[in-house]
Structures are given as C-alpha cells and as structure tokens.
Chains A and B, each alone.
Chain A
C-alpha cells in the first residue's frame, strides 16, 4: 500500500545517519545533541512564531474574551459563564447548528461520493485530456467563494440559468427563486457547496490513487476482477487516507461556512440558512457583543473538533 511504503522509508534512512554522527562526535560527551536540538528549534522558530502569533494567541484570546462582557471600546468586565449561558438559551443557535449539520451532507458526503465516482471513471481509462478534467473540476476551488456566491445567486434567481433550463426541459412549473424559497434555500445553498467541494475531493483521490502500485490492478484483472471490483478492492482501500483528509476538510468547511452564506442568503429567508459563523459575525459586528461572539466561536470550535475527531476515529486504519 502506498502509505505503508512511504512511511518507514525516511526515518530508516535518517536513523543510521544520526547514529553515525553520534559515534563520530561521541568523545565530546552529549552537548552536541543539545546544541543540535537548539539548532532544530532555530529552524522551526519563524514558522512557530507566526503560528503562535496568528493562530494560537488569537485562539487563546478568544477564549479569554468569551468570559468577558465587552463592546470593543469600553473597558471589559468579567462575565464568568454568562455569555455561554446566554448562547445556550438562544433557540437560534440550535437551528444554526442543525443547518450546518445538514450542510455536511452537501459539503462533505456528496462531494466525497462524487469525487470517488469521478476518480473511478477517470483512473486508468482517460489517457488524454486528464489535465483538462483536473482543471475543470478543480476550478471552483480556485475561485474566491464570494465570487462563487454572487454567481450562484444569479444562477438561482427567478430568471436565472437554473430556471431557464428547467423551463426548456418542460419543468416550468417548478421554477422559483431557489435561494428565496423557505423550504429549499438550505438545499440550494448546500448544492453550491457540493459544486465547490467535489473537485477538491476528486483531486485528492486521483493523487492518492496514482500512488497505488499498478501491479495490484494487473493482479486483480488476472484474477478476473472487473472495473467495479478493481475499484472496490484496489482503489478504495488505496485512497483511505485521502478520504479521511477530504472528509475532514469539507466537514470543517460545512461547519464553519460563512462567506458563501453571507453573500448568497445572509441567513435568509427568515433564518432558514443561519449558520453558527454568521451568528458570530452578527454578535461581534452588528451588536458589538464581543464576549458573546467569542463564546459562540469557542463553542463552534468545540463542535468542529468533536465532529472531526469522530470522522478520524471512524475512518482510522484498524490494522
């Protein structure tokens, strides 16, 4: 398997080198090891400083702010758990979390399935034009989500392309302003996510599948396995890790989605597409409740970590 082949190689090569070094400098007791470690930290330092300064410190600060009452200007005051209590009492939060769980289906489950399907169809069969397919399917990932959102808002509008196509197909009675439909807006929004995420999944799976030893396919076909069985027993296990990664990335995109929702529906109609990140934004910037917004952001992080951990646990390599 690709991952198994890759994993032991580099440490094994590194180990004797380090050992040799140790023997050569053995007489000088242990200090070089310590110095080397210090030098190692030196290399890590720039990245670490950026990471600490722009990821860890803001995160810790958010945690701190979540226990304060603060409007952003006046001196903050201690609030204890008040912000959390208030958030848990707000019905809007539960609806927003529920909506983002629905979005997981569209941002994660369907794209992973679609990515696998496209990988199965493209792998080993398409000799020419592979780059074309990759570019086309990966394009949504390159576009800024705000541009994607505005474009889809037009596609979905009353006289947009979606409705024109429905009209041409004789389904004129189904036309509507999709993002304005009380019951269908969330699904319409989710499908935009499907469109952006499927290409990403396909790229990940194609990259993973190309590492699979071709002899496995040969062996399988000699045993009389058809396309489906080759996919099921060779490709699928070969891209297990990529599936996990795709699952994690897309699930985070669903749970923490903001920009797409902000520009397409802004939570509407009537709160039917509210998502937690949107509520964080409103609390912080419309209501000036930094403490409440931080508490909600912390809670959202906990939800994201919990769900992502579950995915990783479920898809772990049992061997």
Chain B
C-alpha cells in the first residue's frame, strides 16, 4: 500500500548512501588490489584466430551494437557480448561492475563521471597500444585529449590515455526554415549580430525565437554555445581540463553570460524555459513552435524525421563572422578493464573505431565519425552538420562541455543558468559559483 511509502522512503533515504554502497564495501578491497599489481602484458596489434569472447558494457545505442557487429564481421573468431544499461543507471552501476571480480572487458567510458576508475587502477593505461596502433594519427587530437588524464584523474589532457572515442558529437544551432522565411530572414546567420537580428525578426513576427530546456541541460548548453564564440579557447580549455590556476571568471565567460542575460531581457529566451525539459524543448521546436534550438547533433535524426527538409543547422556564429573555430562536443568512448584476459583483442576493437568502416556506422547512428577524413555521402541536414563539424574537428577546435570541469559542476551550471533566465543571479555570481565548484575539486 502507498500509505506506508513515506515511511519506507524514509528508510530508503537512510540507505541512500549505503544500500548501494553496501555492495561497494565488499568490492572495494578487490578493486584496490587490482591497482596494486601491475600486470605485464605483451602488446600486440595482431590478434590470433583462436575463438575469443569479450563482454562490453555500454549505454549508448546507436552506435555501440552496430560497431560490435562491424568488428566481429572482420574477426569472426571474436564474439563480443553486449551488456546494455539505461543511461540513468549506467554510471552508478558501471563503477560497481568494473570493481567486481568479473568486470566487462570493455566499458563505455565517461571521463567526468567515471573518473574514479582511474586512480583505482581498474582501467588500462592504453599508452602501449596507442603507440603500437598509431592512435595519435588515427583519432582526432581533441577527442583523445579529454580521455587522457593524470593518475588522480583530475586533470585532463596530460598523463595517460584511458579510452578512445567511438563516436563524436558537436553543439550547434538548429533552425526552422519556414519560420525564418516568414519572418523575412533570408540568409543563415553569419555573425552573432546576424543571429540576434534574426531572433528579433522572429520575435517581431509573433513567434518564439528560441526553445530552451533549462530545466535540464538545455540552459547551460545555450550558455556553452555562446562561450564557444565569445570566450578565449586558450582560457577555456585549461579550465575545463583542470589545469592548476585556471579560472572561468574571465572576460570571455563574462561576455557569454551577459549576452545570455541580454537575450533573456530581449525576450529571445521564453519565460517558461526554466520549467521546460530538454525533450519538451526539442518537441516544441520540432512542432514549429520556435525558430531556433541550441543542442547537439544527437537531435538530428529525430528532428529530420519530424521536420523533413524544413530544418537546418549551423554552428554558433562568431562575433566577427570568421569561420567558427571552436565548438563543444563529447564522445561515446570506450575503456578496457585492467582485469581483462584479452587486452590485445579489446584494443583491436578500440582501433577499429577509427576505421573508415566504423566511421560510416557512427555517422548512420547519428554521431560524428571519429575518422574526420572519412568520405560520407550526407545530404541535407546531416551534410550541414558534417561540414561544420569537420572544419572545427580538423582544426582541433572541439572542446569538452563545461560540466567536465568537476563532478559537481552540473549542479552549479543548471541552477546558475536558471538564475540568469529568471534574472535573479548576476553574471559575477554565476561565474563565481562555477569557480567555487572548480576550486573545491582541483584546489584553488
């Protein structure tokens, strides 16, 4: 009966820190010992014809399953058993299963949320295989940097490589072609001022300029998109990578924040944004209720299904109108368990992710391909995304999302942007709250 639920929840709450972690206590010992004993592994890029079975834990599909199929087709003696866990439970459960006695051989890896696996020694330092396979040439530099960290896994872009990407994403702006045409906007915005002008015209024509899902991540993605073009990437990258002495309280971030506040005051951001979930914002845009939506390429497939040719994409335009050099993006990445019996086979799968065959699978699954030079026969919306992404990726301009900077950052970003939207938090306070979370994690 529901009657007892509050009481039961009370008990559950007592256990929030424990019930799950109870099991962890039991596993912690085995996890620690794995870190202590460094195994000697003969690194090889060729794999034998002996039958081998690997398990792979993941949450993103596509592209994972299709990539597994593609790899096992090339290596029929290899069987990879997929273990799917829904996104909300993945990060919580994967830490447990990686520290268990029989972890999956390969696991989808999130360098922010799963970083504790590194100091625990539960995933392999991929350095030897990177060298043997020549991954530095095969994978985009920015894609590897964010998966490279020091032994404490607090600072990215330095130290050892712990995973490689199997699909990339990029943040940009989707637009509704017919709404822009009705509002008299002829060209795709080339500068930030053009973009603002287009939103003003849309607003004057009685339509909503932007859909923003500020209840979840949509709010700070909008801020992030502005930061990409107003900020100095030379200041942002060290900060998000956790380099000592970095700060987000810099002029570029200040400008992005004030621009966002300006958009709120001009009525470009709807007042209801703070109560809108990401899926609702996307649905509103798809239904033609707004002219623009700032989100990642992952939304492309769904938007194309609903809107057909009526949807287009551009990267957040720069202030000067010069081609965009920086855009945020993330990856679906994979790491190898330190306890696997077949590290060379697992590494061969990782190597496969950079191949042209894998590029096609990744692209068909709605991701940007790891092999940025792969020939893709993209049309329409996908072609627009690919063009933008390829240019930025090839010039090493893909940067991580700001929530990578510290584990608690997302709980500062979302409420902070909500404060900007409700005009109750100043730009200074917002940036200070982000830096506080950064300092707590990295030390000021």
Q: Contact residues of A with B, CB < 8 Å?
A: 54-55, 57-59, 61-62, 65-66, 70-76, 141-142, 153, 156-158, 176-182, 185, 200, 203, 249-250, 252-253, 256, 258-259, 265-271, 277, 280-282, 284-288, 290, 293-294, 297, 300-301, 304
CB pair B15 A62 closer than 8 Å: yes
CB contact under 8 A between A182 and B422, given known A59-B14, A73-B120 = yes
CB contact under 8 A between A180 and B275, given known A62-B18, A65-B18, A73-B95 = yes
Q: Is B306 an interface residue (CB 8 A)?
A: no
B49 to chain A, nearest CB (A): 37
Q: Is B99 an interface residue (CB 8 A)?
A: yes
CB pair B422 A269 closer than 8 Å: yes
B305 to chain A, nearest CB (A): 22
A65 to chain B, nearest CB (A): 6
B31 partner residues in chain A, CB cutoff 8 A: 73-74
A258 partner, pick from B13, B15, B92, beta carbons under 8 A: B13
Closest residue to B88 on the A side, CB-wise?
A: A285
CB pair B270 A158 closer than 8 Å: yes
CB pair A71 B116 closer than 8 Å: yes
A156 partner, pick from B19, B275, B418, beta carbons under 8 A: B275
Per DSSP, chain A at the interface is: helix
B7 partner, pick from A180, A249, A259, beta carbons under 8 A: A249
Interface string of B292-317 (1 = CB under 8 A from A): 00000000000000000000000000
Interface string of B214-225 (1 = CB under 8 A from A): 111000000000
CB pair B10 A270 closer than 8 Å: no
Q: Is B11 an interface residue (CB 8 A)?
A: yes
CB contact under 8 A between A270 and B28, given known A157-B280, A286-B408 = no
Q: Is B136 an interface residue (CB 8 A)?
A: no
A54 partner residues in chain B, CB cutoff 8 A: 11, 15
The CA of A267 and the CA of B412, in the complex, are separated in Å by 11
B32 partner residues in chain A, CB cutoff 8 A: 74-75
The CA of A197 and the CA of B414, in the complex, are separated in Å by 30
A153 partner residues in chain B, CB cutoff 8 A: 275, 277
The CA of A249 and the CA of B22, in the complex, are separated in Å by 27
B15 partner, pick from A59, A71, A157, A286, beta carbons under 8 A: A59
Q: Is B2 an interface residue (CB 8 A)?
A: yes
A250 partner residues in chain B, CB cutoff 8 A: 6
Closest residue to A282 on the B side, CB-wise?
A: B411
CB pair B21 A72 closer than 8 Å: yes
Interface string of B11-27 (1 = CB under 8 A from A): 10111111111101100
Most interface-central of B116, B119, B274 (chain A CB within 10 A) = B274
B116 partner residues in chain A, CB cutoff 8 A: 71-74, 288
Closest residue to A277 on the B side, CB-wise?
A: B13
26 CB-based A-B contacts, threshold 8 Å? A59-B18, A62-B14, A65-B18, A73-B31, A73-B122, A74-B120, A75-B32, A141-B2, A156-B275, A158-B271, A176-B271, A176-B272, A179-B275, A180-B215, A180-B272, A181-B274, A181-B422, A253-B9, A268-B215, A269-B419, A269-B422, A270-B425, A271-B415, A282-B411, A290-B21, A293-B16
Closest residue to A295 on the B side, CB-wise?
A: B17
List 10 tightest A-B contacts by C-beta distance, closest first: A180-B275, A177-B272, A180-B274, A270-B419, A253-B6, A294-B17, A58-B15, A158-B272, A269-B274, A177-B275
A252 partner residues in chain B, CB cutoff 8 A: 6-7, 9-10
Q: Is B3 an interface residue (CB 8 A)?
A: yes
Residues 229-277 of B contacting A (Cβ, < 8 Å): 270-277
A181 partner residues in chain B, CB cutoff 8 A: 274-275, 422
CB pair B408 A297 closer than 8 Å: no
B18 partner, pick from A76, A156, A271, A294, beta carbons under 8 A: A294
CB pair B274 A286 closer than 8 Å: no
The CA of A319 and the CA of B95, in the complex, are separated in Å by 56
A294 partner residues in chain B, CB cutoff 8 A: 17-18
Most interface-central of B5, B19, B416 (chain A CB within 10 A) = B5
The CA of A259 and the CA of B10, in the complex, are separated in Å by 12
A282 to chain B, nearest CB (A): 5
